[in-house]
Chains A and B, each alone.
Chain A
Amino acid sequence: MAEIGTTKVKRGLAEMFKGGVIMDVTTVDQAKIAEEAGAVSVMALERIPADIRREGGVARAADPRLVEQIMNAVSIPVMAKVRIGHISEARILEYMGIDFIDESEVLTPADVTYHIDKWQFKIPFVCGARNLGEALRRVSEGAAMIRTKGEPGTGDVSEAVTHMRAVMNEVRKVQSMLEDELVVEAKDLGVNVELLREVRMLGRLPVVNFAAGGIATPADAALMMTLGADGVFVGSGIFKSSDPLPRARAIVAATTYWEDPKVLFEVSKGLKEGMTGIDARTLVELDKMQVRDN
């Protein structure tokens, strides 16, 4: 008998995204451009992070009609965001047959204490993390994929770099730990020691780990791959730039050929202006999206 919605099946779809680019889109036309450029998936949302940041107010899940139109317009998998802890926004997307749900700090959290119990869903979830503890706590809650938080909507890659380096560094540390040290580490991180043992054995997270938050150029994507990302999300970086299709294509190529400076040179040259961006260091704590959960 065929079994649906199993952990293997959920984590398996994330495996298929590896080496690829997932692009934020807000219209059917943008979704088609993303597919044409070679995106492995699109994230359907009403406002991209840069606009959420600029306009302020409460950011909620997108209108299901928009998500539905995008699902009907492309053949690649479609993701959509829900507010942290918003079980009902997630139930609506699951009912619609979305392929992946992002429980995202980019939207205004609905629950300041609890994340969604993601084991209760047949659809896989991706969640943001700044370090190993956050990543593993999300995996314990049922996340089938992790991404760095970075600082969304800034076009500044530095926070994504910090988060990817933190996760990789902590994984290496865990790999060298003795059993007694591991038990204490698990307690400090607030995670199950079994899960930490798995990390020690694998030398990586037990799920796919993408980079996200501030990636704006082909070289940014290549940098994140160099640091050990399995693939990249590009939010505002494409459709806030002056000529989205060539930039999207270039970022796709850079994610595949991240080790090949010749290809990176070819795809990087002559791209029209990128998004203006904000230096993440100038943000006050209150404006940071990455600190909305932990």
Chain B
Amino acid sequence: MIIGVLALQGDFREHASMVRSLGVQVRLVRLPEEADFVDGLIIPGGESTTMGKLMATYKVDRAIIDRFNAGRMAIYGTCAGMIVLARDIEGSQEQPHLGLLDVTVQRNAFGRQKESSEEDLDVEGLDTPLHALFIRAPVIIRTGPSVNILARVARGPVYVQQGRLLASSFHPELGSDTRVHEHFLRLAEQSSNQEV
């Protein structure tokens, strides 16, 4: 199994080293052809407008959408990655995004940086809370019928799954708790097995 990490901008190195620490091979993805052969793709935290523009300019968006729709890979987006994955972006629909995840996200939903925070979060399927870091984080304000909410805060859902799409407002890659990544690797495993 190979996990791609979208390396256009943001904290992709932290995702890559967390996946490697779990014994899985990583490939950094900057060009369309680099998405070939990956069973899962992580879209990191960063600036969603920057990533979206680069994805569109260098046609990485098409490669990702095609490979996902062909059932060849799972995708996990954190923070900016969640925004890029979303179908609708409140007040900013014109910014380039993939539109795969049937949700509406609100960017900077907590406010500016001074509202950025860390807190313990109860997550469906985990027996102990997850320590979550929210940095100018988005929140989901609408979820489609096939979207499963795995965790929420007062403002709304912050961790969701739709089949092999996973998205979190927070940044597990900046801590040492690997449970979210382990969950994602299981989704990617399904794509990997299917190919055989």
- Give chain A's interface residues, CB within 8 Å of chain B: 1-6, 8-9, 12-13, 15-20, 35, 38-41, 71, 75-77, 94, 97-100, 122-124, 252-253, 255-257, 260, 263
Contact = CB atoms under 8 A, between A and B. Distances in A.
Given A12-B116, A38-B54, A256-B54, A19 B135 contact: no
B111 interface: yes
A16 B47 contact: yes
Interface stretch (B9-17, B140-148, B186-194): B9-17
B119 interface: yes
A71 B135 CA distance: 17
Interface residues of B, number: 40
27 contacts: A5-B114, A5-B116, A6-B118, A8-B174, A9-B118, A12-B171, A15-B14, A16-B45, A16-B79, A16-B136, A18-B11, A18-B12, A18-B46, A19-B8, A19-B12, A19-B46, A20-B46, A20-B47, A35-B49, A39-B50, A75-B49, A99-B113, A123-B113, A123-B114, A253-B57, A256-B30, A256-B54
Contacts of B49: 35, 38, 75-76
Contacts, number: 120
Given A2-B117, A4-B115, A9 B135 contact: yes
B7 interface: yes
Contact of A12 (B47, B53, B107, B133): B133
A16 B118 contact: no
Nearest to B47: A40
Contacts of A2: 117-119, 134, 153
Listed residue (A15, A20, A40, A260) with the most chain B CB atoms within 10 angstroms of its CB: A15
Nearest to B8: A256
B107 A15 contact: no
A252 B57 CA distance: 12
